Chains A and B, each alone.
Chain A
Amino acid sequence: MSRTITLIVTRQDSPEGRPYKETFKIPYRSNMNVISALMEIRKNPVNAEGKKVAPVVWEMSCLEEVCGACSMVINGKARQACTALIDKLGDTITLEPMSTFPVIRDLMVDRQRMFESLKKVKAWIPIDGTYDLGPGPRMPEAEREWAYELAKCMTCGVCLEVCPNVGPHSKYMGPQAVNQVRLFNTHPTGKMNAHERLEALMGDDGLEGCGNSQNCVQACPKGIPLTTSIAALNGDLTRYSMKRWMMS
Chain B
Amino acid sequence: MTKTFVNRRLHSLLGVVPIGLFLIEHLVANATAAGGPEKFNETVALINKLPFVLFLEIVFIWLPILFHAIYGVYIAFQAKNTLPRYGYFRNWMFYLQRVTGLIAFVYIAWHVWETRVQAAFGQPVDFNMMANILSSPLMVVFYVIGVLSTVFHFSNGLWSFAVSWGIAIGPRAQRHMTYVSLVVFILLSIVGLMAIFSFVTV
List the one stretch of B73-81, B138-146, B192-200 in contact with chain A: B73-81
Cβ A165 vs Cβ B4 within 8 A: no
Cβ A233 vs Cβ B86 within 8 A: no
Cβ A213 vs Cβ B91 within 8 A: yes
Cβ-based interface call for B169 (8 A): yes
A157: chain B residues at CB < 8 Å are none
> Could you mark each residue 198-225 of chain A with 1 if its beta carbon is under 8 Å from any beta carbon of chain B, else 0?
0100111010111111110011000001
Cβ-based interface call for A192 (8 A): no
Cβ A165 vs Cβ B79 within 8 A: yes
Bound CA–CA A241/B88 (angstroms): 32
Q: Contacting B4 at CB < 8 Å: which of A206, A214, A232, A237?
A: A206
Cβ-based interface call for A231 (8 A): yes
List the one stretch of B27-35, B36-44, B158-166 in contact with chain A: B158-166
Minimum CB–CB distance from B78 to chain A (whole Å) comes to 4
Minimum CB–CB distance from B89 to chain A (whole Å) comes to 8
Bound CA–CA A213/B84 (angstroms): 13
B88: chain A residues at CB < 8 Å are 213-215, 218
Bound CA–CA A213/B166 (angstroms): 16
Cβ A225 vs Cβ B166 within 8 A: no
Cβ B160 vs Cβ A234 within 8 A: no
Minimum CB–CB distance from B102 to chain A (whole Å) comes to 15
Q: Contact size class for B?
A: 20 to 34
Minimum CB–CB distance from A120 to chain B (whole Å) comes to 13
> Could you mark each residue 83-96 of chain B with 1 if its beta carbon is under 8 Å from any beta carbon of chain A, else 0?
00110101101110
Bound CA–CA A241/B2 (angstroms): 11
> Could you mark each residue 1-17 of chain B with 1 if its beta carbon is under 8 Å from any beta carbon of chain A, else 0?
11111001100000000
Cβ B79 vs Cβ A212 within 8 A: no
Given A170-B78, A204-B4, A241-B1, the answer on whether A213 and B90 have CB atoms closer than 8 Å is yes
Bound CA–CA A155/B75 (angstroms): 27
Most buried by A among B4, B93, B168: B4
Given A211-B94, A215-B88, A244-B1, the answer on whether A231 and B163 have CB atoms closer than 8 Å is yes
B85: chain A residues at CB < 8 Å are 76-77
Cβ-based interface call for B167 (8 A): yes
Given A169-B77, A212-B160, A213-B82, the answer on whether A231 and B169 have CB atoms closer than 8 Å is yes
A123: chain B residues at CB < 8 Å are none
A218: chain B residues at CB < 8 Å are 86, 88, 90-91
Cβ B94 vs Cβ A208 within 8 A: no
Cβ-based interface call for A238 (8 A): yes
Bound CA–CA A204/B82 (angstroms): 22
Other 7 A-B pairs with CB < 8 A, given A164-B79, A209-B4 = A77-B85, A167-B79, A208-B4, A213-B88, A213-B94, A233-B166, A241-B9
30 A-B pairs (CB sep. < 8 Å)? A100-B80, A162-B82, A163-B82, A164-B91, A164-B94, A165-B79, A167-B78, A167-B79, A202-B1, A202-B2, A204-B3, A206-B5, A212-B90, A212-B160, A212-B164, A213-B82, A214-B90, A214-B94, A215-B90, A218-B90, A219-B86, A225-B171, A228-B171, A231-B166, A231-B169, A234-B164, A234-B165, A237-B5, A241-B1, A244-B1
